[in-house]
Amino acid sequence: MRVVDYLDKGASLDPGAACLTTDGQTMTYAAVQALSHRVASALRASGVEPGDKVAILSANDPVAFTCVFGISRAGAVWCPINPRNEAAENRELLDLFDCTVVVFQESFAPLVERIRADLAKVHTWVCLDAAPGDPVAGALGWDEFLARGAAAAETDDTEPDLPAVDDLAMIVGTGGTTGRPKGVMLTGTNLETMTALTLMGYPFDGRPVYLALAPLTHAAGVLCFPILCRGGEVVIMRRPDVGGFLQLLEKHHVTHTFLPPTLIYMVLGHDALDATDLSSLQCFWYGAAPMSATRLEEALTRIGPVMAQLFGQTEAPMMVSMMPPADHFRPDGSVAVERLSSAGRPAPLVTVAIMDLDGRLLPRGERGEIVVRSSLVMPGYYRNPDATAEASRFGWHHTGDIGYLDDDGFLFIVDRAKDMIITGGFNVYSTEVEQALMQHPDLQDCAVIGLPDDKWGERVEAVVQALPDRTVDPAEVIAFVKARIGGVKAPKAVHVWAELPRSKVGKVLKSEIKAELGTPVDG
């Protein structure tokens, strides 16, 4: 399936149904379809051919998201660009992906001005929302752009034939924290596998309503596809607002939503949570980073028995392993606390194994790198055969995560390979220390790192963020962790920060913490 086929499938069920809703304004399936045809026609009139790369630089916005379907309808490749990136990173990604057209919001015109001179491959810039007659950064206005394809808007006979499912659908940039960013190529097969796994593994009762607060450039965007092919409604939040999120959950009788753990912690800390009617919720996905088992147990009580984990990565989107709401509970209805720190079981269409450094598959219970085989896995990195070969050693996709499978088939992720700490000859997994820290009643979030140490090689240190109106005593926190996991794994120092540094999608940036704290000292 092409990306646009998810929209067209939903429209075939009821073209008059609500499709995209933002700020109280709704576009029906018929309206979104019609606009996607106009966008496709305008792209073709602008010289875009099947296989060309078209970037969208926008915050959450229904018209920008409709462009995704227009790009697909034109046979082009969608390149989501995160507007929170620095200018240099976005310039590098647009160049790496060979983008020829960039569609952007007026609020990002200053960024466009800084990078456009260095992007000779881009022949067309389109501003989504500039006022008529007020060109931004030398770009086409939205109406001017659509007018290019107006003649073919009603009867578009030039639409390409349905491409093979392995045709490139999108290119997604990875973080550039360890060198130059890479472009993950995702095909129609990859996205179709992800969508099928979502629909077969999680509750979908009736017409779904999905609330998108997280960026549509990442997980929140591709999770729209299973919603749309069931004729569901996507409620789009333009900007993060936990209070507004709770109001919209109740107002729109939302059935499905997704948040990373850090935002779920904020939901749990919001005064309005317990008074909000959440009875419509069927599935509250969490993922993109490890979640505190303690906070997850709280969420199961206060949000409801609807929490649903997904584990994947850009290279194998979303559904490497799955933990639907029912798996959070034992047969007697009690919370299965023993598996709350797991990532669920491998998805039905995915083979997961644990591998050592020599390519040997390890038995259950042994720790090693999590490797994957599936039609979910990318074909490779765009224009980067060396990185592709490295990621697919021994015929398996290498996730870079360290973990193990237990006797019941649940996958436990103990750390990123690069985050494992070796102190005094012992392996310490930062996620295990973070789970212990998050049991502390005064902590909202934390991050554990290893720093150079002349005596031990590395020492364990933690940065913590207190809950609002709480104070934290570092010595007391260290003693708290020691009592739970012992002195070797407990942090040697705890630093209390007002905020943890985060990426554009909410992940804690341990590299920045190390840069701030990483001066070697004697042990």
| Domain range summary for the chain, segments of one domain joined by + | 29-187, 240-416, 420-517
Distance in angstroms (rounded) separating the CA atoms of residues 416 and 103: 35
d(CA 25, CA 128): 17
What is residue 105's predicted lDDT score, i.e. its pLDDT? 92
pLDDT of 29 reads 98
What's the CATH code, domain 420-517? 3.30.300.30
Who's near 47: CB < 8 A, 6+ residues apart? Answer: 100, 123, 124
Q: How confident is the model at residue 170, as a pLDDT?
A: 96
Alpha carbons 196 and 190: distance in angstroms, whole number: 10
Match domain 240-416 to its CATH number in 3.30.70.1230, 3.40.50.12780, 3.10.310.40, 3.30.590.10.
3.40.50.12780
Separation between Cα atoms, residue 399 and residue 124, nearest integer Å: 36
Same fold flag, 29-187 and 240-416: yes
Ranges of the chain with pLDDT below 50: 176-178, 520-523
Q: Which helix (H) or strand (E) holds 202?
A: none
Q: Going by C-beta distance under 8 Å and a sequence separation of 6 or more, which residues neighbour residue 379?
A: 166, 185, 187
119-161 per-position pLDDT tens digit = 999 999 999 987 766 667 789 999 999 999 885 555 555 555 5
**Which two three-digit tokens encode residue 106?**
């007026």
Question: Which amino acid is it at 143?
Answer: D
pLDDT tens-digit profile of 105-114? 998 888 898 8
3-state secondary structure of 209: strand
Predicted TM-score (pTM) of the model is 0.84
Q: What is the 3-state secondary structure (H, E, C) of 145-195?
A: HHHHCHHHCCCCCCCCCCCCCCCEEEEEECCCCCCCCCEEEEEHHHHHHHH
For 405, what's the count of Cα atoms within 13 Å in the CB-facing half-sphere? 19
Distance CA 458, CA 276 (A): 46
- Measured between alpha carbons, how far is 192 from 226 in angstroms, rounded to an integer? 9
Closest of 287, 110, 267 to residue 202, by C-alpha: 287
Question: What is the spatial distance between Cα 83 and Cα 399, in angstroms, rounded to a whole number?
Answer: 26
CATH tag, 29-187: 3.40.50.12780
Sign (positive/negative) of CA torsion 194, 312, 224, 83? negative
DSSP string, 295-361: HHHHHHHHT-TTEEEEEEETTEEEEEEEE-GGGGB-TTSSB-GGGTTS--EEPTTEEEEEE-TTSPB
Judged on CB neighbours under 10 Å (0-12, 13-18, 19+), 270 is: middle
* Dihedral angle over CA of 172, 173, 175, 180, nearest 10: 150
Q: What is the pLDDT of residue 261?
A: 87
